[in-house]
Amino acid sequence: MRVGLLTGGGDCPGLNAVIHAVVKKGIIHYGDEFVGFLEGWRGVLDNNTIPLTLATVDGILTKGGTILRTSRTNVRKIEGGIQKCVETLKANKLDALIAIGGDDTQSVTNALIEAGVPGVGVPKTIDNDLNGTDVCFGFDTAVGIATEAIDRLHTTAEAHNRVIVCEVMGRDAGWIALTAGVAGNAHVVLVPEKPIDLDHVCALLKYNHDHGKKYGIVVVAEGAKLPSGAQTTVGSKVDSFGHARLSGIAQALAEAIEEKTGYETRSVNLGHTQRGGTPSAYDRMLATRYGLAAIDMVHKGEFGRLVVLRGTEIQSIPLAEAISKNRTVDDHFLEILTGLEPKV
Ligand code: F6P
């Protein structure tokens, strides 16, 4: 078979491990040929391709980023975009397309499936918020990076008797904040699923202060919301590329905490460091399993579906189900935070 492959949306450690697994199994076990589209859906629109061979994927499993590069181009937002993609895929004589990406990317895969393209999706996002899968690869690496950073913030915050507010990624879901915050023993963890109660945050920091801990670590997801009065420098904006961007929650929160408590407060935004560098062993393994399953699905004719992890098993679900909503942090996980909090 001739199979197309692309990576779309924000990059994520483990993308190359998926590409490696798909291409290796496809060529060795099925005798497939592969066409790689460069820079996500933009590469399909522009018919910008490279051949993917065993030599191309040799040694990429361990590397961060994506050899296919990526973009946030969403062809559903471009007039005639879906039709143009269908034509490119036909011109390349493809029997199937594998799209590795988050909800935005998979919404395009789904639209192409409705237009008759045989497609399979592989879930990707460090935010871990794609519906239907227990884990997206990249999440474990991002949590590891954030946890290490939080460990480091503890010692400098303690040395200076400071509060440090650490912002992590998570536009709609607080999985990174929750997991790295708990693992890094943060004193306060704030997620988009629960509006920030500034008085409660300050009361927790004050409780620790009064009980001998003269410093504080607050971990906040970028999508967490401050009460409107304090929300001076924070908010959503659209950049010149038309991409929605969040900015400033850690800084705004640090200013509000310092004003309310009188504790010297600093902020740090871990930003894209969480997406960079080599994937963890867990993510390399998960991405490899996803890639192997995706090429098997192509050969079984299981199109219109997303590879997922359920418990320890690799399964698949309809793409339409995956893109129907985000998988946010549920009450069961939020209870981990309340379970560790002092009564204030
Ligand atoms: O991939 C999802 C994400 O990590 C979000 O948490 C974050 O808001 C966004 O990517 C940032 O992406 P960009 O690379 O476009 O700045």
- Specify if 18 maps to a domain: yes
- Give pLDDT, residue 244: 67
Q: Which residues line ligand 1 (CB under 6 A)?
A: 10, 72, 125-127, 169-171, 222, 243, 246
Tell me if 186 is assigned to some domain.
yes
pLDDT digits (tens, 9 = 90+) for 23-52: 999 999 999 999 999 999 999 999 999 999
CATH value at residue 86: 3.40.50.450
Is 266 found in the same domain as 293? no
Whole-complex ipTM: 0.96
C-alpha to C-alpha distance for 266 and 253, rounded to whole angstroms: 10
Q: What is the pLDDT of residue 231?
A: 47
Identify whether 337 is part of a domain: no
DSSP H or E stretch at residue 123: strand 119-123
Say whether both 118 and 166 belong to one domain: no
* 342 assigned to some structural domain: no
Q: How far apart are CA 130 and CA 181, in angstroms?
A: 21
Residue to mutate (ligand 1; options 12, 139, 169; most atoms within 8 A of CB): 169
Domain residue limits at 71 = 2-137+279-323
Where is average pLDDT lowest: 31-45, 218-232, 233-247? 233-247
The tens digit of pLDDT for each residue in 8-18 reads 999 999 999 99
Does residue 31 fall inside a structural domain? Answer: yes
How far CA 256 is from CA of 202, 233, 245, 249, 342, in Å, comes to 9, 11, 22, 10, 21
Residues 168-217: tens digit of each pLDDT: 999 999 999 999 999 999 999 999 999 999 999 999 999 999 999 999 99
Q: Please give the annotated binding residues for substrate, written as ranges.
A: 125-127, 162, 169-171, 222, 266, 272-275
More confident residue, 74 or 154: 154
Among 258, 276, 294, the domain boundary falls at 276
Task: Tell me the percentage of the chain whose pLDDT exceeds 90.
Answer: 93
Looking at the fold, whether 127 and 146 belong to one and the same domain comes out as no
Residue with tokens 């920030």: 196
CA–CA separation, 212 vs 215, rounded Å? Answer: 9
Q: Which letter does DSSP use for residue 311 in this model?
A: T
How far, in Å, is the centroid of ligand 1 from the Cα of 124?
Answer: 12
What average pLDDT score do residues 264-271 get?
98
Structure-token pair, residue 5:
């492959």
Tell me: do 254 and 159 sit in the same domain: yes
242: domain CATH number?
3.40.50.460
| Best of 7, 74, 100, 171 for a ligand 1 pocket test (most atoms within 8 Å of beta carbon) | 171
Q: Are residues 228 and 176 in the same domain?
A: yes
Residue 210 lies in a domain: yes
Cα 260 to ligand 1 centroid, rounded to whole Å? 31
Over 90: is that where the pLDDT of 229 sits?
no
Q: How many domains does the chain have?
A: 2
Across the chain, what does the average pLDDT equal?
Answer: 95
Atom of ligand 1 at shortest range from CA of 11: 1
pLDDT of residue 232: 47
Cβ-based neighbour number of residue 200 at 10 Å: 12
CA–CA distance, 16 with 57 (Å, rounded to integer): 8
Same domain for 272 and 145, yes or no, is yes
pLDDT score, position 38: 98
Give the span between the Cα atoms of 272 and 280, in whole angstroms: 16
Atom of ligand 1 nearest to the CA of 246: 8
Q: Which atom of ligand 1 is nearest to the CA of 169?
A: 6
pLDDT tens per residue across span 109-143: 999 999 999 999 999 999 999 999 999 999 999 99
* Mean pLDDT, range 73-100, rounded to an integer: 96
Residues annotated as catalytic are 127
Question: What pTM was estimated for this model as a whole?
Answer: 0.95
